[in-house]
Amino acid sequence: MGKKVIAIKNVDEKLYRRFKALATLKGLSLGEAFNQALSLWINISERVEVAECLAVEEEARANRQVYEELIDELLEKHRNKYVAIAKGRFLGVFESREEAFNVVKKLKPRHAIVTRVEPKKLRVIELGMSLFEVLE
């Protein structure tokens, strides 16, 4: 594989410092880490329409904000019911997930929250080794 020395303008200093620190932590040279970052970026960009992802994320942020604002009240009054939030609007309290989703569908959003009203813990899940590949 050919190796090349390149200089890049306008690199965000903060991002670069974090990148360098993480590369050091992982025991990678800057070049190795940069190559991994390039591969990952290309891989993602080829598979997913970036503009679509950003549009989904924008709606998701608005929906999550609404949920955050309402959660205490919902827990107090509607525990174990289902709620729907889409297009940055609270759509109501429902008896079932299906009922909630049917209301979401009519709005044709890119993103929606359909969830049971219950205390949510920050959950960490293990990802298996299958997400890694051994390159020889």
Partner 1 sequence: MKIPYSMGEEPPVPVLTLRVYSPGGDKNLVLTFRVDTGFAGGITLPYDIYLRLGLTLAEEPYPVIGRFVTGSTVKLYRAYTKVELEGKTVFYVYAYSSPYIAKKLVGREFLNKLILLLNGPQKTLEILDNSGLKKNISTTSTS
Residues that bind partner 1 (CB under 8 A): 26, 40, 43-44, 47-49, 52-53, 56, 60, 63-64, 67-68, 71, 85-86, 97, 101-102, 104-105, 109-116, 118, 120-132
User: In whole angstroms, what is the distance from residue 79 CA to residue 121 CA?
Assistant: 15
Tokens of 117: 């009203």
CA-nearest of 71, 70, 117 to 94 is 117
CB of 39 to partner 1, least distance (A): 11
Give the chain's length. Answer: 136
CA-nearest of 102, 121, 103, 104 to 112 is 104
CB of 71 to partner 1, least distance (A): 8
CB of 9 to partner 1, least distance (A): 26
Q: Which residue, 24 or 43, has its beta carbon nearer to partner 1?
A: 43
Q: Which residue, 13 or 136, has its beta carbon nearer to partner 1?
A: 136
Q: How many CB atoms lie within 10 A of CB 94?
A: 19
